[in-house]
Amino acid sequence: MPLQLKIFTLNCWGLALLSKNRKSRFEAIGEWLLANPVDIVCLQEVWLMRDFNFLQETLIDLLPYSHYFYSGVVGSGICILSKHPIEETFFHQWSVNGYIHKLQHADWFGGKGVGLCRLKIVDDKDTYFANVYTTHLHAEYNRASDEYQAHRVLQAYDTAQFILLTSQSADLIVLAGDLNTEPEDLPYRVILTVPGLVDSFVQARDVPQEKMATCDSFRNSYTPPMLLKTQKLGKRIDYVMYHPGTNVTINLKSYDLPMLERVPKKSFSYSDHEGVLVELSISHNSKSGLNQPDEAAKKLVLEECIDLCKDALKSIANAKIFYWFIVVFMCIFIICSLVFPAVYTVPVVTDNPIIFSVCRVLLTGLTFFAFLMATLWSPIEMHGVLSGKVAMEVSLKKITKNS
């Protein structure tokens, strides 16, 4: 009999203080998983260890194996709970992940990346080794003017390469998480084409409209009213993707968004995202795995990614010049104000010690910030983009040579 495997993923929206009804929602998530047993759970935005510990303790009988991927300042926010033993784990942190000074976005502080748990699944006489990956790509804060597009594309490529290079011996490959990218966007196409994954939603085909959006759904209590007025269904950015290993067949049995209803006896939803539940049927056979990567599609995707990286490198170079301009200008201004105080200072400021001290601190801070951005941050970001670009060029060269 084929192995039946249920995989669930959810962005839990677990920010301390900022996320509404966080404690009650985590309790509800635990209760839902107790009432609806699954085999593998991939969670994102579990930022507080007490929330992870709560789920771990609540689900210990159903999901006795778990792993939290520690990273960055506040943790990666991603974790995996499993019914089956976790034999190996690994976390790959991305080289580019937002900006340290964008405190309002704060993605950098999570030290985001892609986590891997290698599971040993024993079913009757069959044994399967599954590589389960979970991740949470950089958020898209403004689709019309997306300053993080290059970062997200590079994260997608890193994730795709990481899956490709670590899954050769796996019988089953699963990627589940919040990819912050919509279907047909470049990061989505990168993740699908490079390792040859299957999007379970696409494989399911006839999914009802009300079960398409995993974020900003019109049924979710946390969807902003302004978005509801647009009468859009929302967007699909949470995924369960998979690929069979050699001599393994995978059939999709079901695709569902099982948390569309509000928390029982409450007026709020489980999260600002919808959970995705996929059931797979897995069996051994004498043929190699299906859905091998499409080399032509992969070539087009890589070319598009390389062009985007080139534009990003130009933007970083221009930003570096801008920061150096601020440093030089401020240094000249400070020197001139010391040499010619009557000309380069404002009496209202210099005559008031408090205002003068505040201005001096602000100007010094601005100069120091610009200096750090020019000498440290810009080279780090540039090298991160270059690293991804060079890797893409190596892959592209290989495809071109073989075609």
What does the pLDDT look like over 10-49, one tens digit per residue?
999 999 989 999 999 999 999 999 999 999 999 999 999 9
pLDDT above 50 (res 159) = yes
Mean pLDDT of 137-166: 93
Confidence at residue 210, expressed as pLDDT on a 0 to 100 scale: 84
pLDDT above 80 (res 349) = no
Which range has the worst mean pLDDT, 9-18, 76-85, 138-147? 138-147
What does the pLDDT look like over 174-194, one tens digit per residue?
999 999 999 989 999 999 999
Q: Cα(367)–Cα(321) distance, rounded to whole angstroms?
A: 14
Confidence at residue 209, expressed as pLDDT on a 0 to 100 scale: 86
What does the pLDDT look like over 87-109, one tens digit per residue?
999 999 999 998 888 888 888 88
- Angle value at C-alpha 354, between 353 and 360, nearest 5 degrees: 85
CB 98 within 8 A of CB 148: yes
| pTM of this structure | 0.90
Confidence at residue 358, expressed as pLDDT on a 0 to 100 scale: 76
pLDDT above 50 (res 299) = yes
Confidence at residue 290, expressed as pLDDT on a 0 to 100 scale: 47
Which of the residues 84, 138, 243, 273 is marked catalytic? 273
Q: What is the mean pLDDT of the chain?
A: 91
Mean pLDDT of 335-343: 65
Mean pLDDT of 227-239: 85
Q: Cα(153)–Cα(159) distance, rounded to whole angstroms?
A: 10
Comparing 106 with 264, the larger pLDDT belongs to 264
- Whether 273 is catalytic is yes
Q: Cα(152)–Cα(158) distance, rounded to whole angstroms?
A: 10
pLDDT above 60 (res 288) = no
What does the pLDDT look like over 355-387, one tens digit per residue?
767 777 888 889 999 999 999 999 999 999 999
CB 323 within 8 A of CB 378: yes
Mean pLDDT of 280-303: 79
- How would residue 173 be classed by pLDDT, with cut points 50, 70 and 90? very high
CB 91 within 8 A of CB 69: yes
> In percent, how much of the chain has pLDDT > 90?
71
pLDDT above 90 (res 287) = no
